[in-house]
Amino acid sequence: MSYKIAIASGKGGTGKTTVSVNLFKGFNELRGKKVQLVDCDVEEPNDALFFCDAEVVDVQEVSQMVPVIDSEKCTFCRKCVEYCEFNAIVVLPPVPFAEINPSLCHSCGACSVACEDGAITEHPKPIGTLNFYKTDENNGLVEGKLKIGSTMQTMLIRELKKAIPGINDIIIYDAPPGTSCPVVETIHDVNYLILVAEPTLFGLHDLKLMVALVRELGLEFGVVINKVGLGDNAIYDYLDKERIEVLGKIPFDKEYASLYAVGEITGIIPDAIHQSYTEILDVLNQKITHHEGNNRIKW
Amino acid sequence: MKTVITSSGENNLAQFDKRFGRAAWFCVFDEETKQTIFIKNKNINSSNGAGTMAAEQIVSMNVQKVISGDFGPKAKDLLDKFNVQMVIIQDNDITVQGIIEKLTK
């Protein structure tokens, strides 16, 4: 079984991608295990930007099934309207008129169950693609890319996670920002969750939202504080008070930020930042070893 | 001819509600009888499709004109399809009665 780690944040721009990409490279070098990086920020995936030599090895289209009502067969009973949780169906018996709005439909299939007249059939509608990249001999990156105009983030993330081969030792999910459905879909089944936070007012505010979510989901998690040196001490006091595990502190470095801007986040890393990642990787490796040990006992 | 005015309350003195799908009430004004009836918007708290449902309700009531502050694209498509005229009023301080007076002048 793969060990699954998600990197999430709440606030955008705290460093999810930077941490994800660096951990991915770090695991590659340290352990020689098969590691898969998965970019779950399907609205604007950007992990691939940091692997300019990576070649695309496969592109898979993902579709949602959208129901269509045949008004010849429809008896305008409105049962499907009652079944639809998303108000996607309009049926006007006197007209008569029956139509499903695909942009409101979540493809749950309830209307097909509701219809007793065989008037509803389902047809595929593309929502995005899964792009598979080969980054080196053993390891790879997969990203989900949502089609412009589609609102099916959660469905695409679900399909993306399903498409990852089980032969990987470690899977790293780079989560979308925020605390809503796409984030829950990304993190709900991981072995360990890393929250990347920054010591600003906004950063702390969103970290608290994220901690509340993660505790409700019952996930094991720790925090990486990025851009240490900015802001104030409130975040450290909060983490201390809540007894939240701090995996590492990455110092703020303006030169490193410039390197990020030209896509060089893993090349020439300042010593202090490199040291932080080494520490974070050590902690994660312990967790992975522990997990493997536990699994062995179970078998 | 029947006209729907989106309303924040249940009587003619209530403020006009500029939201269409999430208006609190729909006031149906009959131009021939000068009568108004108020229908509660049961989709006011729907997570999505409130505009679509409101448009469906309005078409099913055989209304020819809707007065609101704005219409979303899905509601607009549906109302267009059934030739319901959409009138936009961007006035924050008008009551339902005030709009009826403008209509009947």
Cβ–Cβ gap A87/B82 under 8 Å: no
A47 lies in the same domain as A142 = yes
Neighbours of A8 (CB within 10 A): 28
CB atoms within 10 A of CB A124: 12
Determine, for residues B74 and A95 on separate chains, whether the beta-carbon distance falls below 8 Å: no
CATH number reported for the structural domain that contains residue A108 in this entry: 3.30.70.20
A148 and A119 belong to one structural domain: no
B57 at the A interface (CB within 8 A)?
Answer: no
> Quick one: angle between helices A234-241 and A201-217, nearest 10?
20
Question: What range does the domain containing A9 cover?
Answer: 3-51+135-298
Q: Is residue A238 part of a domain?
A: yes
Length in residues, chain A: 299
The number of distinct structural domains making up chain B is: 1
A59 lies in a domain? no
CB atoms within 10 A of CB A79: 17
Instruction: Look up the domain containing B98 and give its range.
Output: 2-104
Instruction: Based on the fold, state whether residues A112 and A145 are members of the same structural domain.
Output: no
The reply to whether A68 and A45 lie within a common domain is no
- Residue A130 in any domain: the answer is no
Could you tell me the CA-to-CA distances from A183 to A15, A187, A190, A257, B66 in Å, in that order?
16, 6, 12, 25, 39
Same domain as A192, residue A79: no
Q: What's this model's pTM, rounded to 2 decimal places?
A: 0.80
Q: Which residue of A has its CA nearest to B42?
A: A87
Assign A142 a pLDDT band (cuts: 50, 70, 90): very high
CB of B86 within 8 Å of a chain A CB? The answer is no
What single letter denotes the amino acid at residue A201?
A: L
Same domain, A38 and A164: yes
In this prediction, residue A299 has a pLDDT band, given cuts at 50, 70 and 90, of: very low
Q: Which residues contact B55 (CB under 8 A, 6 or more apart)?
A: A90, B21, B74, B75, B78, B79, B84
Do A257 and A191 belong together in one domain?
yes
Provide the b/e sequence for A205-214 (b: ≥16 CB within 10 Å): ebbeebbebb
Q: A104 and A147 share a domain?
A: no
Q: Is residue A58 part of a domain?
A: no
* Residue A294 falls inside a structural domain: yes
Q: Are A95 and B52 in contact (CB < 8 Å)?
A: no
Q: Are A150 and A128 in contact (CB under 8 A)?
A: yes
| Contact present, B46 and B38 (Cβ < 8 Å) | no
For the domain that residue B49 is a member of, what is the CATH number? 3.30.420.130
Contact A28, A139 (CB under 8 A): yes
Q: What is the mean pLDDT of chain A?
A: 91
| Whether residue A178 is found in the same domain as residue A272 | yes
Structure-model confidence comparison of residues A145 and A285, the more confident one: A145
Do A30 and A74 fall within a single domain?
no
Asked if the structure places residue A57 within a domain, the reply is no
**pLDDT per residue over A280-293, tens digit each?**
999 998 998 888 77
- Residue A94 and residue B55: Cβ atoms within 8 Å? no
- pLDDT of A291 reads 84
Kindly indicate the confidence band of residue A173, based on its pLDDT and cuts at 50, 70 and 90: very high
For residue A275, count CB atoms less than 10 angstroms from its CB and return exposed for 0-12, middle for 13-18, buried for 19 or more.
middle
In this prediction, residue A170 carries a pLDDT of 92
Shared-domain flag, residues A70 and A12: no
pLDDT band at A269 (very low <50, low <70, confident <90, very high): confident
The verdict on a CB contact (< 8 Å) between B52 and A94 is no
Which pLDDT does position A296 carry in this prediction?
Answer: 59
The tokens describing B85, both together, are: 């005229």
A32/A68 same-domain check: no
Q: Structural domain tally of chain A?
A: 2
Q: How far is B34 from chain A (nearest CA, A)?
A: 25
pLDDT at A210 over 70: yes
pLDDT of A50 over the 70 cut: yes
- Phi first, then psi: what are they for A184, rounded to 5°? -60, -45
What pLDDT, on the 0 to 100 scale, is given for residue A30?
A: 67
The per-residue pLDDT for range A73-122, each reduced to its tens digit, is: 999 999 999 999 999 999 998 888 999 998 889 899 999 999 999 999 99
